Structure 1
Amino acid sequence: LLSSVHAAREDSYDVALFFIAGNSPLCLVTRMAGIPTVINVDGSDSDRRKWNRLAKSYLRGAERLSPRLATRAITDSHAVASIYKQRYGRKIDVVPYGAEVPEEHDIGVLDRLGLEAGRYVLFVGRLEPENNPHLLVEAWSQIPTERTRGMKLVVVGGAPYASEYINRVRRAADPRVVFPGYVFGPGYWELQRGAYLFCAPTEVGGTHPVILESLAAGNCVLVNDYKPNAETVGDAGVYFSGTEGVPDLVRQLERLLADPDLVASYREKALHRAELYSWDAVAAAYEQLLLEVSDAAGYGPLPMERLEELERVTTPANFRVVAPAAADS
């Protein structure tokens, strides 16, 4: 809010760019100041199970109104754009996320965690229900040690608001599972490069950067068949049925664990797939979008037919929406 008000008062910005649909009411601040405004809604945040009823209601309202309150609304996934079209009747544009692997720096993370390169399956993400680390831990516990060939499962991440859930996941894990907590920077990339395969059981959101980063690191990627995941991975990875859950995840893990040649073939495919998501291409797409928006003329009055609903559903308690006067055409 403070940044939005500052931008509006400065009156020296060509365009404003917001991220996350929940911030869409703030687009009013910059648009009322005459600043063309773009919002990247990210994924379908209202579908996350961590939100209570009030938060979900706010986010649904914010998602529904994002294309109205901004000059242009975008997302990083065509699957999410399709959700907006079906759920809210609004077309939004797509600019994908990017991923590039930094230069290699071995800082000894594998040694500290007691891991060997090529001898572990990797999960990275927030440890919360919609990312489904519990499914992976449960599936791993059902695979006999002889079929895992002595490999470990490494579950990287945390979530300060989900301690009860994390404790349940830890209690369900057997001794073959390692929980190092958060790992960032060079240590994270060392884990990515050294994994036998990467597994993303997540079922909510748009493009997940960690999946793109796994592709860019040349990993064999096993993902939930949730549509945005499939859009990201294409034919460069392996899928398990999110509907079936653990049984199919066990089958796919066992198939990959038993076939190193198949894993190697997917590593090659992953590297080729990642080339489609270079940051140079993403930056060029953003540059083109922002130039188009900033060069637009005659923005007209804001579409405020549903102001009462906006005030009731999407307005934070400390931010009162004032209907703007109609702009000159």
Structure 2
Amino acid sequence: MIQKKIAIIGTVGLPAKYGGFETLTEYLTKHLTDSFDVTVYCSSFFYPKKLKSHNNAQLKYIPLNANGVQSILYDIISIFNALFYADVLLILGVSGCVVLPFIKLISNKVIIVNIDGLEWKRAKWGKAAKIFLKFSERVAVTYADRVVSDNKVIQDYVKYVYNINSELIAYGADHTKKEALSSGVVSEYPFLAKKYAFKVCRIEPENNIYLILHSFSEHPSLDIVVIGNWNNSNYGKEMKLKFNNFENIHLLDPIYDQNILNQIRSNCYFYVHGHSAGGTNPSLVEAMYLELPIITYGINYNLETTANKAKYFNNKNELLKIVSNIKQEELNEIAKDMKNVANNVYTWKVVSAGYANLFLLNSK
């Protein structure tokens, strides 16, 4: 039987190093390359050493940055290149989807778009970028053969705004595993010997960094460890300058060693999640799979992801009240609930099966 040819477009590339879409692509290729002929587009900007394949998927390199303004052209070139051989184009994100009306005129290839939350709502974008991304979202949803939403809230939004039924497929988290703290890691980060809350994320206003750090600056009896890209923006530098001198606040640069990251995550008192935009966040579902107690910003995406079984805050006073009053027994119960939800919903077997079913469908 001839395998369908799948092109995955819109990520930085493989091997995965950078973000949620890259991790998704990593595990889709691990699970699906026995059944499909998969090609993944990669940015030469991030991969000076170019591999021919990874996880039995072929890799193609585009000499552009996969992030920022260049990502539009990066995606568009990838889309046009894929038309020459692929049966199905899986496009992750909407920035390059402005060309889909033309693509549908000249091709009958199946187009699947994961719209990646409501990207145009993110605070980091200026007015022009938001207008462009909202337009790209509309074009993507209108001209794709299938639309993927990673969260029920996003799925409901697509139905309400565009009257289109999208497929609900989230992210997997079972690639993470609990790790005991090693003496070497504690030696490098001595504050881990104490009780600490934990957060890992991009340092952006919409992730409520200020709200969280401000709360812990007023609760010196509990430490917090936050890992993020502090030096990549003026906002990050401002937050680091403002809060780095508090004895109970520990702001770490990105840690790419998965073993060390898992050690620090696995042994926290609870996980704080501040995201207020997007859909299902990979770092949140990973924390759930690690059976961590979750205290999260109470936006609808996060309530949906955690099945309304975590602890929620919407301002500094609410977070302070939770941190000051929560008991170990309650944290233990939340942790069990998070693990049960993750086991049922957020596994790569479930996610990969969802995408495989879409790949086998014909165009609408």
TM-score range, shorter chain: 0.7 to 0.9
Query: Counterparts in 2 of 1:48-87, with a 5 A limit?
Result: 48-87=122-161
**Percent identity between the two aligned chains:** 22
> Offset of 1:27 from its aligned partner?
3.6
User: Normalised by the size of structure 1, how large is the TM-score?
Assistant: 0.80
Rg larger for: 1
Retained in 2: the 8 A contact 1:21–1:66? yes
Report the CA distance between 1:159 and its aligned residue.
Answer: 5.5
The 5 A counterparts of 1:1-40 are 1-8=76-83, 10=84, 12-28=85-101, 31=104, 32-40=106-114
Q: CA RMSD in A?
A: 2.0
- CA shift, 1:30, in A, is 5.0
Quote the residue 1:200 is aligned against: 273
Aligned residues: 282
Q: Structure 2 length normalisation: TM-score?
A: 0.73
- Pairwise CA distance, 1:96: 1.4
1:63-119 deviations in whole A, cap 9, x for unaligned?
Answer: 122111211111101101222333444432211111114455666434312133671
Is the partner of 1:116 in helix, strand or coil?
A: helix
Code of the residue aligned with 1:213 in structure 2: it is E
Q: How does 1:1-329 map to 2 (within 5 A)?
A: 1-8=76-83, 10=84, 12-28=85-101, 31=104, 32-103=106-177, 108-116=184-192, 119-143=195-219, 145=220, 148=221, 151-158=222-229, 161-162=232-233, 164-173=234-243, 174-184=246-256, 185-240=258-313, 242=314, 245-256=315-326, 259-276=327-344, 277-292=346-361, 295-296=362-363
CA distance in 1, matches of 2:115, 2:92: 6
Distance in 2, matches of 1:16 and 1:117, equals 48
Partner of 1:304: none
Distance 1:200 1:141, change over 3 A: same
Is contact 1:215-1:271 (8 Å) kept? yes
Q: Which runs of 5+ in 2 are unaligned?
A: 1-75
Structure 1 pair 216–29 and aligned structure 2 pair: CA distance change class (3 A): farther
Matched to 2:356, the amino acid is E
The residue type equivalent to 1:58 in the other structure is F
Structure with the bigger RCO (C-alpha within 8 Å, sep 6+) is 1
SS at match of 1:286: helix
Give CA deviations for 1:276-303 in whole Å, capped at 9, x if unaligned.
Answer: 21110111111011212xx34xx5xxxx
- Structure with the bigger percentage of strand: 2
